[in-house]
Amino acid sequence: MVQRKATSTKKKTTGKKVMNKKVPASTAAKKASPAAEPVDIVKQAPAAPVVEQAAPVEKKVPPVAEKPAPVEKKAAPVVEKPTPVEKKAAPVVEKPTPVEKKAAPVVEKPVSVEKKATPAAKKATSATKKAAPAKKKDAPAAKKPAPVAEAPIPTVVEPAPMAKEPTPVVEEAIPMSVMSNLPRRSIAFIGSECHPFVKTGGLGDVMYALPRQLVKLNCDVRVILPRYACIPQKYQDQMVYRGEFYMDLGHTGRNYYVGIMEYICDGVVYDFIDNQEFFSNGNPYTNLVDDIPKYCFFSKAALAALNYMNWIPDIIHCHDWQAGLVPVYLRTLFADSPVGRARSILTIHNLRFQGIYNIPTIKYWSGLPDHAFQMGALKDGYQDANMLKGGIAYADRVTTVSGTYAWEIQTPEYGEHLDGHLRYHSGKLRGIVNGIDYDMWNPATDPALVENYDLGNVLEHKMANKLALQRELGLEEDEGKFVIGLISRLTNQKGLDLVRDIIPQVLDGNTQVVVLGTGDKEYEDTFRYYENTHKGTFAACIQYDEARAHRIYAGADALLVPSRFEPCGLTQLNAMHYGTLPIVRETGGLKDTVAPYNPFTGDGNGFTFDRYDAGLLLDAINRAKTEYFTNRYHWDEVVQRDMDKDVSWENSARQYKDLYLELTQW
Ligand code: ADP
Ligand code: GLC
């Protein structure tokens, strides 16, 4: 989804833009070529066997036949697609639609771009006012859009004035006491979502929690995010204007406004890339036709912003396909710019989503040189480019979010057709399991709960949360019932077809089920149906509700995670920390974090099953019920063991820090 656009090779030769001037294609090619990967390996890599697993995003990609002919000039993907997005993507010059008007060649309509950008700057709050002098300094730049476009990498000639300004602190609470003697490193996180600004799943949790933990390990962390319009106003209001410039993008022939809005919290600096043309949608992700230009822009703008701010990190740590082009840009178009010094790490949170589109389109928006589209890098199959695949090829290290998933993705079953590519790069692949943020997830202080509890009093106080949950959801209020929760995106990944098949058998009169999630209509409707047919015992909350999620973690007895695949999974970690026993399939991070309960020794953290099979899931639930109803003493022991289990970020953040040090040995 994330395609970052850089200037095209052709443009480089025009010398129009600084970036182009600095990176002669030939030089870049030499420096940047990823390790030559035998083409055969990729070609022969067996395609993922499960047809159903086709990434939803990919489904949106039109069949090859429908893709724009590989006209190198202007492969705007949009042309053939009558969606509004496509209009956006249409080559500006050729299509005089309203959108295209917006996209008029920069030189001709610089003002419109500035106008668009203005409100963002205006939104800056009083904090912004503090930074007013800096803003004034930058004002002239805004009036000269064309020249700015030439300087996404302005540092050598004239360090960005804003960079010298004292950083306006909105909140500051670096816990100096925990600053160790560890070597200091600077890290730029680049990703598409981050709690509490915008979150659709676990990526948002990781982008929030890991930087905070790294700060405690003597890291200087900046998180670079899109400034989506859907970010809650209270955060928008606290952002401080940090600067702005214009940047060219691929073969669009336009220069784009890049605003930088900053927010600082607990020692982590958040820099939001502002551009209303790309980020005004209510949802961060819409469809590939929209998302490809959006994340091309974001990826390139993120690197250009680092140069602009003159903040050159030791490590650039990017996440998922939306940032997959960052390592590619870094070693090509940005190689000779200051940020080109940084080492790069790409973390795969979910291999199913890869950002695949036809090559002409991705060339059009990314402007990456031809050699980046070779088989060992971006090229995927005969006609497609794959942004995550490119990132894997060019990154200095690739990580994923559990050891088991790191192994699984090198197999055809879980490799989503990139298993051959990943095996080829296995030398730089690591698995580091996620943790959870103990401040955000703490039953002793959680404001969403009716009654807080900790390890010492969980057995007395958890029940109050169960009764409150039953009341809240219209379930029969009975502390004797076994309550099973499920908190999930409702997608094919999460094993919901298994759940659907066994609900009637699970609801035996002593059991209640609570589902919280949104996603595929098929699953939403199924769960609504069960709520209607099993009133008082089945609750379907088809919504995204953070506070309710907290109450389910606290009020349920067990939490279901029967995923088809699960890179890490956070819900089982949250559940354990709240004394709720997980029932999981033994895959990915679920396998690494939930030890199976052994009824003979009493060891373990939850109930597990291996093969993806509804009968085995039902068996695991029945084993849990048996233990709950007939062996409560042991059940309670596991409750306490799980609450005591270390599922924090502490260990895992150390492993990331070690990886950073491994890459920057000086
Ligand atoms: P994934 O990233 O694949 O969706 P994870 O288990 O890693 O799965 O993370 C899911 C995160 O999103 C957890 O923090 C979970 O509590 C949260 N979550 C999922 N669905 C909902 C929902 N409907 N309402 C509130 N929180 C949700
Ligand atoms: C992805 C995975 C999930 C993981 C999360 C955070 O969304 O599906 O398993 O926990 O990313 O890394």
* Of the candidate ranges 118-122, 507-511, 567-571, the one whose mean pLDDT is the lowest: 118-122
Q: Nearest-5° angle of CA 339, CA 341, CA 342?
A: 75
- Residue 286, number of CB atoms within 10 A of its CB: 16
Task: Give the up-direction half-sphere exposure of residue 325: CA atoms within 13 A in the CB hemisphere.
Answer: 39
For 190, which DSSP code?
Answer: E
Convert the pLDDT of each residue in 322-347 to its tens digit: 999 999 999 999 999 999 999 999 99
What is the spatial distance between Cα 356 and Cα 388, in angstroms, rounded to a whole number? 8
pTM > 0.85: yes or no:
no
Whether residue 453 has pLDDT greater than 70 = yes
Whether residue 114 has pLDDT greater than 70 = no
- 268-274/379-380 β-pairing: unpaired
Q: Is the beta carbon of 588 within 6 A of some atom in ligand 1?
A: no
What is the spatial distance between Cα 381 and Cα 362, in angstroms, rounded to a whole number? 14
Q: Whose CA is nearest to atom 7 of ligand 2?
A: 202
Determine contact, residues 190/321, Cβ cutoff 8 Å: no
- Residue 479, number of CB atoms within 10 A of its CB: 11
Beta bridge partner(s), residue 70: none
- Residue 665, number of CB atoms within 10 A of its CB: 6
Contact residues for 84 (Cβ-Cβ < 8 A; gap 6+): 99
Ligand 1 centre to CA of 536 (Å) is 25
What is the spatial distance between Cα 162 and Cα 185, in angstroms, rounded to a whole number? 22
Most informative mutation of 353, 487, 515 for ligand 1 (most atoms within 8 A of CB): 487
Q: Whose CA is nearest to atom 11 of ligand 2?
A: 349
Structure tokens at 247: 């940047």
Convert the pLDDT of each residue in 557-603 to its tens digit: 999 999 999 999 999 999 999 999 999 999 999 999 999 999 999 99
Average pLDDT on 128-138 reads 33
Convert the pLDDT of each residue in 419-430 to its tens digit: 999 999 999 999
Average pLDDT on 613-628 reads 98
Ligand 1 centre to CA of 487 (Å) is 6
Most informative mutation of 57, 568, 592, 656 for ligand 2 (most atoms within 8 A of CB): 568
Whether residue 42 has pLDDT greater than 80 = no
Residue type, 462: K
Confidence grade of residue 19 (pLDDT, cut at 50, 70, 90): very low
- 581-585/607-609 β-pairing: parallel
Average pLDDT on 610-623 reads 98
Confidence grade of residue 236 (pLDDT, cut at 50, 70, 90): very high
Q: Is the beta carbon of 495 within 6 A of some atom in ligand 1?
A: no
Q: Which residues line ligand 2 (CB under 6 A)?
A: 201-203, 206, 349-350, 401, 434, 566-570, 589
Ligand lying closest to the C-alpha of residue 349: 2
Whether residue 141 has pLDDT greater than 70 = no
Alpha helices, DSSP H, located in 92-144 = 98-102, 110-123, 126-130, 132-143
Convert the pLDDT of each residue in 272-321 to its tens digit: 999 999 999 878 999 999 999 999 999 999 999 999 999 999 999 999 99
pLDDT of residue 283: 87
Contact residues for 274 (Cβ-Cβ < 8 A; gap 6+): 117, 120, 227, 244, 257, 258, 259, 260, 261
Helix (H, G, I), strand (E, B) or coil at 135: helix
- To the nearest 5 percent, what fractions of the chain are helix, strand and coil? 45, 15, 40
CATH architecture of 458-647: 3-Layer(aba) Sandwich (3.40)
Whether residue 81 has pLDDT greater than 60 = no
Ligand 1 centre to CA of 494 (Å) is 11
Mean per-residue pLDDT of the chain: 80
Edge-to-edge strand list for the sheet holding 558-561? 538-541, 511-516, 482-487, 558-561, 581-585, 607-609
Convert the pLDDT of each residue in 164-201 to its tens digit: 333 333 443 444 445 557 899 999 999 999 999 999 99
pLDDT of residue 666: 76
Q: Whose CA is nearest to atom 10 of ligand 2?
A: 569
What is the spatial distance between Cα 103 and Cα 593, in angstroms, rounded to a whole number? 49
Ligand lying closest to the C-alpha of residue 437: 1
Average pLDDT on 374-402 reads 98
Q: Is the beta carbon of 560 within 6 A of some atom in ligand 1?
A: no
Q: If you write DSSP's letter for every residue of 174-206 in order, what string do you get? A: --GGG--SSPPEEEEEE-S-BTTTB-SSHHHHH
Q: Which of 55, 204, 53, 192 is nearest to 549 (CA)?
A: 204
Whether residue 640 has pLDDT greater than 70 = yes
Determine contact, residues 346/425, Cβ cutoff 8 Å: no
Confidence grade of residue 657 (pLDDT, cut at 50, 70, 90): very high
Phi, psi for residue 560 in degrees, rounded to 5: -95, 130
Ligand 2 centre to CA of 568 (Å) is 5
Q: Is the beta carbon of 569 within 6 A of some atom in ligand 1?
A: yes
For 382, which DSSP code?
Answer: T
* Of the candidate ranges 1-10, 169-178, 230-239, 416-425, the one whose mean pLDDT is the lowest: 1-10
Ligand 1 centre to CA of 204 (Å) is 9
Confidence grade of residue 627 (pLDDT, cut at 50, 70, 90): very high
For 178, which DSSP code?
Answer: G
Domain ranges of the chain: 51-111, 458-647
Q: Which of 470, 451, 447, 443 is nearest to 579 (CA)?
A: 443
Cis omega (within 30 of 0) for bond into 196 = yes
